[in-house]
């Protein structure tokens, strides 16, 4: 029974704009254990990136606000921490990798410098020890000949290599939780495959829990142990990866998986979902997916469905399942 | 025998790299080197590859946005280099249109949809404003938009809708061939299906030919009749789509398929094994000698680093450029 | 476990809040509106003609200072002319010269900038070198030379202000034109067979308009200052027609005993410059594409 690193309970995050309150995350709950890769899947504006930012309390100010919920990391609710305390948590207990490695790295500092900065901040080591830590962080991310790369600048490295450096910085202080926001989206297919294999190796050598935010089902299938499917600010289905692909229950999950073309067979016609997600400024009273659902009932439009456990921790928010 | 609408023969494009005050040429970026392919009327050819493979360069050559270093493009059997500027404008451009990858930057944000879709007509035909208006409404309907959408500006639409507008614009002049550069990669997953279905329907309705540039193999399999796999400026495998996917021969193709195929770890058998390439695609400034792929190929032998493999016809509908899989 | 989460409730925007946030636009626009109004209707608004001298009433202080009268709200100058009236007519002069010069330089500079940026190559390089040369001349010196050789007058001043001013616009617009030229929708237009002039007019120009508007707004202050400087130096609009700059010059020798002669026109110059800059900043913030939400 692994230890639970992160427990998110009923998280609500909104953006205060002149047009009103945008409810980007509207009641999200999930947990991630040690050594587990949890995938947060969904399309744009579903709230997955905002969830990730909320966990780090890195929402844009003053518009971004967490309005409800608890985020329990390593046993304590980080929403109650002061700004200073939170700064210590970031990097040391939680870390994040963003999508574009070019903008995640400062172009005017060498990568050795940037790695050292992160380590210095969190581990308070003596200067001579820092160098060793930097090299071991680079080694963890399988960057060849790390000693010679310390003085390289980001522009001297390829996209895949840069993404590894970003990963090295994120892992340099051995955080308990790593949030990766679409780190493979900008990478080529074969480089992506390398990167995924690398992630899996890191998983074996450390205890880190990973939240992998993506829209790419191929990556989810290869990497994640469990998956949460998000739609319009809520998680509609949570299950093991195998169950999500072989036994999806929520109509949105089913439709989404069917709309992805497969390489292992010839599809005659792809399923496509009509319409668009609801506006987050003006959410409908009932189930968010009701307007586009093939199995919609009257109840769906009036009341939001509860989360139902259909067995073994497979959770579905759908009236039809009840 | 299907009619060939466009044929590329040994297309080559090298970009000069200059240095110094006097701009001396110190090297060449060999973006594409000897690419040959044919596109049949009513069918889709996809150029697949990762970044740096040369697919976008090929598209730019076909669209005459830049000049070839060498090679011939034959349009309906005629050599394009023999076309005068006015013939290009009257015979080629109206027949070869394009849809770009980014639906946010491919349209002038200050023009209404009506003018965006109507511009090719206004510029290339003598249609009256009224005629253009009704034609625009007609095409908007074909791509699944309404007539009242014509008055709006691009930013008032979602990504998927914008891509529909781009397709409408491409169809305005009733072209024979549409070049689509990653038409769905910037869109959400569920919207991609909508647009791909739309493109296929339009192809059936109007007997359109498509040249699709893509990096997602699953999309390619869904949409294409024939496929060309590109690596570092060359086509390494070329043939009918189903044949190529069921029987991949080139090691790079196999690696690409392995990286793209959606399998759960528990389903991995010995057949569907993960092929993970080492290293990265070398720079087109200095391609490796012999077979360009040999630096990353697990099956490379001595001759691979010395002799450039020929493109060989393995079956009637399948060609591969490799020393081994022939 | 107590959650400790400090929730900040959502407060919808209020009209008052909106006004305060947009003061950067409201105040300058109000200032300009008032000034332009008085400049146009100077004949009606002004209490006295600008050249009516009154020797017994020389150097009278403003109405709220001891010795002043309400007949001359802002006091009188060394020849007994009403400061307020002259300031009103001065607005007409300063604004019309500046705005005309801005219009001329903006049109010339924009046209050259779009053409240069889009065409590229040697033509672009040549035009930009001409721009460099124009920008390297000291503007005031050139203005003085022109004023001396052409003789003083309204059009001399406009010409002097315009002869070098177009270069700044050309450079900025050329940069924007280059950026827009590389957009996907411009290559699309080329693929569609759109002619170059049409591309420049329908695709490039509407997309550089934002920068142009900001540039023009920020240029108002610079132009007013330039015109005032010329008038101050005596190479501007000749007397008795007042310009704020010449009014400042008039009071130069009386700063100790009749400070109001120079001060009020000086304040007006400063007010226009500030308003132009504030409005330009506000526009720039509003139009920054990065802040635009999809």
Q: Residue A269 sits in a domain of what CATH number?
A: 3.40.50.300
**Residue B124: inside a domain, yes or no?**
yes
> Per-residue pLDDT averaged across C98-126, rounded?
94
Say if residue A62 is preceded by a cis peptide, omega within 30 of 0.
yes
Rounded to whole angstroms, the Cα distance separating A206 from A218 reads: 24
Q: State the total domains in chain B.
A: 1
Rounded to whole angstroms, the Cα distance separating C245 from A13 reads: 57
Does residue A44 sit at the B interface (CB-CB below 8 Å)?
Answer: yes
CATH of the domain at B133: 3.40.50.300
> What is the model's pLDDT at position B319?
93
Q: What is the pLDDT along chain A (322 residues), one digit of tens a residue?
A: 578 999 999 999 999 888 888 999 999 999 999 999 999 999 888 999 999 999 999 988 888 889 999 999 998 999 988 888 888 888 889 999 888 877 888 888 998 888 888 888 777 777 778 888 888 888 888 888 888 888 889 888 888 888 888 888 888 888 999 999 988 887 888 888 888 888 888 888 888 999 999 988 888 998 899 999 999 999 999 999 999 999 999 999 999 988 888 887 777 888 888 888 888 888 888 999 998 998 888 989 998 999 999 988 899 999 988 7
Does residue A45 sit at the C interface (CB-CB below 8 Å)?
Answer: no
Give chain B's mean pLDDT: 90
Round the CA-based radius of gyration of chain C to a whole number and report it.
24
| Residues on chain B touching A197 (C-beta within 8 angstroms) | 274, 276
Rounded to whole angstroms, the Cα distance separating A9 from A77 reads: 10
**C56 vs B46, C79, C81, C249, C254, CA distance in Å?**
93, 9, 11, 22, 17
**Residue B52: inside a domain, yes or no?**
yes
Rounded to whole angstroms, the Cα distance separating A68 from A272 reads: 35
**Residue A147: inside a domain, yes or no?**
no
Does residue A248 sit at the B interface (CB-CB below 8 Å)?
Answer: no
The beta-carbon neighbor of B189 closest among A191, A222, A260 is: A260
Distance from CA of C6 to the nearest CA of A (A): 8
The beta-carbon neighbor of B108 closest among C190, C191, C203 is: C203
> Per-residue pLDDT averaged across B274-296, rounded?
86
Find the closest chain B residue to A160 by CA distance: B280
**Residue A38: inside a domain, yes or no?**
yes
Say if residue C240 is preceded by a cis peptide, omega within 30 of 0.
yes
Centre a 10 Å sphere on the Cβ of residue B150 and count the other Cβ atoms it contains: 20
CB contact under 8 A, B190 and A242: no
> What is the model's pLDDT at position C2?
44
Q: Domains of chain C (ranges plus CATH)?
A: 86-287 (1.10.3720.10)
At C103, list the tokens. 């219009």
Q: What is the ipTM for the molecules in this complex?
A: 0.84
Determine if the pTM surpasses 0.90: no
Centre a 10 Å sphere on the Cβ of residue B291 and count the other Cβ atoms it contains: 28
Chains that touch A (3 or more CB pairs under 8 A): B, C
**Residue B48: inside a domain, yes or no?**
yes
Give chain A's mean pLDDT: 88
Round the CA-based radius of gyration of chain B to a whole number and report it.
21
| DSSP-assigned letter for residue B294 | G
Helices (H) and strands (E) in chain B, counts: 9, 12
The beta-carbon neighbor of C5 closest among A18, A20, A80 is: A80
Structure-token match 């300009």, residue found:
C32
> What is the model's pLDDT at position B1?
52
**Neighbouring-strand partners of residue B35:** B11
Residue A322 burial class via C-beta count within 10 angstroms: exposed 0-12, middle 13-18, buried 19 and up: exposed
Mutate which: A203, A263, A291, vs B, most B CBs within 10 A: A263
> Residue B189's domain spans which residues?
4-321
**Neighbouring-strand partners of residue B226:** B45, B240
**Residue A284: inside a domain, yes or no?**
yes
**Residue A58: inside a domain, yes or no?**
yes
**Residue B326: inside a domain, yes or no?**
no
Give SS3 for B62: helix
Q: What is the pLDDT of residues A80-134, one digit of tens each?
A: 888 888 888 888 899 998 888 778 888 889 988 888 888 887 777 777 788 888 8
Q: State the total domains in chain A.
A: 1
Centre a 10 Å sphere on the Cβ of residue A250 and count the other Cβ atoms it contains: 26
The beta-carbon neighbor of A77 closest among C4, C8, C10 is: C4
Mapped to the 3 state alphabet, what secondary structure does chain A carry?
A: CCCEEEEEEEEEEEEEECCEEEEEEEEEEEEEECCCEEEEECCCCCCHHHHHHHHCCCCCCCCEEEEEEEEEECCEEHHHCCHHHHHHHECCCEEEECCCHHHHCCCCCCHHHHHHHHHHHHHCCCHHHHHHHHHHHHHHCCCCCHHHHCCCCHHHCCHHHHHHHHHHHHHCCCCCEEEEECCCCCCCHHHHHHHHHHHHHHHHHCCCEEEEEECCHHHHHHHCCEEEEEECCEEEEEEEHHHHHHCCCCHHHHHHHHCCCCCCCCCCCCCCCCCCCCCCCCCCCCCCCHHHCCCCCHHHHHCCCCCEECCCCCEECCCCCC
Mutate which: C188, C195, C208, C291, vs B, most B CBs within 10 A: C188
Does residue C8 sit at the A interface (CB-CB below 8 Å)?
Answer: yes
**Residue A20: inside a domain, yes or no?**
yes
Centre a 10 Å sphere on the Cβ of residue B17 and count the other Cβ atoms it contains: 12
CB contact under 8 A, C1 and A77: yes
Find the closest chain C residue to B110 by CA distance: C206
Find the closest chain C residue to A57 by CA distance: C5
> Residue A56's domain spans which residues?
4-93+175-316
Q: What is the pLDDT of residues B116-130, one digit of tens each?
A: 999 999 998 889 999
Residue B220 has pLDDT above 50, yes or no: yes
Q: What is the pLDDT of residues C224-264, one digit of tens each?
A: 999 999 989 888 888 878 999 999 998 898 888 888 899 99
CB contact under 8 A, C185 and B105: yes
| Residues on chain C touching B119 (C-beta within 8 angstroms) | 189, 192, 194
Residue C294 has pLDDT above 50, yes or no: no
The beta-carbon neighbor of C184 closest among B89, B97, B102 is: B102
Residue C4 has pLDDT above 70, yes or no: no
At C36, list the tokens. 């332009």
Does residue A12 sit at the C interface (CB-CB below 8 Å)?
Answer: no
For chain A, give the percent of residues with pLDDT over 70: 100
């Amino acid at each position: 029974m692994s230890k639970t690193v992160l427990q998110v309970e009923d998280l609500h995050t909104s953006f205060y704009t002149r047009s009103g309150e945008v409810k980007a995350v509207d009641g999200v709950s999930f947990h991630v254990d040690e050594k587990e890769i949890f995938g947060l899947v969904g399309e744009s504006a579903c709230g997955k990136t905002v969830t990730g930012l909320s966990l780090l309390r890195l929402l844009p100010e003053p518009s971004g606000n967490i309005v409800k919920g608890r985020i329990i990391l390593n046993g304590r609710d980080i929403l109650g921490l002061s700004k200073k305390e939170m700064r210590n948590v970031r990097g040391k207990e939680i870390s994040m990798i963003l999508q574009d490695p070019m903008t995640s790295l400062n172009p005017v500092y060498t990568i050795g410098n940037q790695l050292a900065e992160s380590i210095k901040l969190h581990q308070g080591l003596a200067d001579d020890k820092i160098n060793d830590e930097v090299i071991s962080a680079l080694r963890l991310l399988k960057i060849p000949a790390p000693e010679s790369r310390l003085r390289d600048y980001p522009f001297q490295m390829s996209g895949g290599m840069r993404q590894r450096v970003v990963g090295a910085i994120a892992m340099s202080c051995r955080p308990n939780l790593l949030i990766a926001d679409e780190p493979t989206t900008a990478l080529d297919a074969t480089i992506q495959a390398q990167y995924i294999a690398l992630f899996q190796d890191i998983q074996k050598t450390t205890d880190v829990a990973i939240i992998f935010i993506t829209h790419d089902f191929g990556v989810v299938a290869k990497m994640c142990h469990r998956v949460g499917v998000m739609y319009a600010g809520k998680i509609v289905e949570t299950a093991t990866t195998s169950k999500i692909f072989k036994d999806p229950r929520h109509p949105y999950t089913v439709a989404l998986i069917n709309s992805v073309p497969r390489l292992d067979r010839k599809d005659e016609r792809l399923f496509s979902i009509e319409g668009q997600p609801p506006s987050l400024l003006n959410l409908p009273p009932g189930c968010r997916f009701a307007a586009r659902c093939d199995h919609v009932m009257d109840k769906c439009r009036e009341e939001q469905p509860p989360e139902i456990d259909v067995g073994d921790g497979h959770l579905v928010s759908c009236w039809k399942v009840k | 025998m299907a009619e060939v609408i466009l044929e590329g023969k040994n297309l080559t494009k090298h970009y000069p790299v200059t240095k110094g005050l006097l701009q001396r040429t110190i090297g060449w970026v060999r973006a594409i080197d000897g690419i040959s392919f044919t596109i049949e009327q009513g069918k889709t050819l996809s150029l697949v590859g990762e970044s740096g493979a040369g697919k976008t360069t090929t598209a730019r050559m076909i669209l005459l946005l830049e000049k070839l270093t060498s090679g011939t493009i034959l349009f309906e059997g005629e050599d394009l280099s023999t076309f005068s500027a006015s013939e290009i404008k009257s015979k080629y451009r109206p027949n070869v249109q394009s849809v770009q990858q980014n639906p946010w930057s491919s349209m002038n944000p200050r023009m209404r949809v009506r003018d965006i879709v109507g511009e090719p007509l206004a510029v290339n035909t003598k249609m009256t404003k009224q005629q253009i208006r009704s034609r625009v409404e007609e095409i908007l309907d074909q791509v699944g938009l309404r007539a009242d959408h014509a008055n709006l500006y691009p930013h008032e639409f979602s990504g998927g809708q914008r891509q529909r507008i781009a397709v409408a614009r491409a169809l305005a002049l009733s072209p024979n061939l549409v070049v689509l550069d990653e038409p769905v990669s910037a869109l959400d997953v569920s919207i991609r299906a909508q647009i791909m279905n739309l493109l296929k329907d339009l192809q059936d309705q109007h007997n359109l030919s498509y040249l699709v540039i893509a990096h997602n193999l699953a999309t390619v399999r869904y949409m294409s009749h024939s496929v060309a796999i590109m690596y570092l400026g060359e086509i390494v495998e070329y043939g009918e789509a189903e044949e190529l996917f069921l029987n991949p021969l080139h090691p790079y193709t196999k690696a690409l398929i392995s990286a793209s195929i959606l399998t759960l770890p528990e389903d991995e058998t010995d057949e569907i094994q993960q092929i993970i390439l080492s290293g990265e695609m070398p720079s087109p400034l200095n391609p490796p000698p012999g077979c360009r792929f040999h630096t990353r190929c697990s099956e490379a032998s001595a001759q691979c680093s010395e002799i450039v493999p020929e493109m060989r016809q393995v079956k009637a509908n399948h060609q591969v450029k490799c020393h081994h899989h022939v | 476990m107590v959650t400790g989460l400090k929730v900040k409730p959502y407060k919808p925007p209020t009209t008052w809040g909106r006004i305060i946030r947009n003061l950067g636009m409201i105040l300058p626009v109000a200032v300009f509106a008032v000034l332009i109004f008085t400049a146009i209707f100077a004949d009606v608004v002004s209490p006295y003609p600008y050249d009516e001298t009154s020797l017994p009433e020389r150097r009278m202080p403003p109405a709220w200072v001891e010795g002043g009268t309400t007949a001359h709200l802002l006091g009188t100058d060394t020849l007994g002319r009403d400061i307020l009236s002259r300031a009103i007519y001065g607005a007409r002069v300063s604004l019309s010269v500046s705005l005309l010069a801005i219009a001329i330089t903006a049109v010339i500079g924009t046209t050259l900038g779009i053409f240069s940026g889009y065409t590229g190559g040697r033509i672009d390089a040549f035009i930009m070198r001409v721009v460099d040369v124009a920008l390297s001349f000291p503007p005031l010196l050139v203005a003085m030379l022109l004023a001396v050789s052409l003789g003083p007058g309204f059009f001399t001043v406009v010409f002097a202000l315009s002869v070098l001013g177009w270069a700044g616009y050309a450079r900025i617009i050329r940069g924007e034109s280059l950026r827009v030229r590389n957009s996907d929708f411009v290559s699309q237009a080329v693929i569609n067979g759109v002619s170059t002039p049409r591309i420049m007019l329908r695709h490039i120009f509407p997309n550089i308009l934002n920068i142009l508007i900001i540039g023009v707004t920020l240029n108002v202050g610079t132009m007013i200052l330039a015109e005032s400087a010329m008038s101050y130096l005596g190479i501007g609009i000749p007397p008795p027609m007042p310009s704020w700059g010449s009014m400042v010059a008039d009071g130069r020798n009386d700063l100790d005993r009749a400070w109001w002669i120079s001060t009020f026109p000086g304040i007006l110059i400063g007010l226009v410059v500030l308003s132009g800059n504030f409005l330009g900043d506000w526009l720039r913030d509003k139009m920054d594409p990065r802040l635009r939400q999809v």
